[in-house]
Amino acid sequence: MASSLSEKLADTLRERINRGELAPGTVVIEPALAQEFEVSKTPVRESLRQLTSEGLLQVLPKKGYLVRAISLNDVYEVLELRRLLEPHVAGQVATRHSAELVATLSEHLKAQEELAVSDPIASMHAARRFHSELCAASRNSRITASLENCLAQTARAHYVLPSMQPYMSQSEELAEHQRILAAIQDSDAAAAQQAMSEHLDSIRRAMLEES
């Protein structure tokens, strides 16, 4: 029970950190969180240890936990890892996708397109769900966990790094997602890998203003 509760707490706190609601430099302490969530200190402590192991928090002896900053070098490393893993995943999914998966991916892209003007943040979340769905479809729990962390860190950079460049245009991102999905629907592994590679290169250029 405590483990399940600690996982839920970790998810909530992780999202706050990634959205910048818990900004870098913020100190969080067990008693305050236990009071806020109306739980005992044990699941809070477990959740904070989990986030520390993920590199989001740093232990401050006898004080609490410090929300760690994210640097441009962190962004470079995250995007490099995504560039290594996501094309592989896209290629794998293309060879063994189901009609249900394609339908789900299509729904995410539909939401991304429809919300682009009225709710850009929700559109961004739909785009992230597209990537998350592909990660989960890899059927490799370690790859999925690594990429989910990378996706969260990519999103976090936009919230907490003042120097971070604006993301790629919504229309460009949607078009690249549609090319990835089309290759998967065609069961073309090579095309899916290529489309994902090009998409990640676009993300890197947009975020780090590279030519």
Q: Give the pLDDT of residue 211.
A: 46
Which of residues 3 and 70 earns the better pLDDT score?
70
Rounded-to-integer distance, Cα 149 and Cα 6, Å: 18
All structural domains of the chain: 2-67 (1.10.10.10), 72-208 (1.20.120.530)
| Spatial contact of 190 and 92, defined as CB atoms under 8 Å apart | no
Q: pLDDT, tens digit, for every residue of 72-115?
A: 899 999 999 999 999 999 999 999 999 999 999 999 999 999 99
How far CA 43 is from CA of 30, 60, 67, in Å, comes to: 10, 19, 18
Rounded-to-integer distance, Cα 25 and Cα 15, Å: 16
Mean pLDDT of the chain: 92
Q: Give the pLDDT of residue 63.
A: 92
Rounded-to-integer distance, Cα 9 and Cα 12, Å: 5
| Spatial contact of 24 and 31, defined as CB atoms under 8 Å apart | no
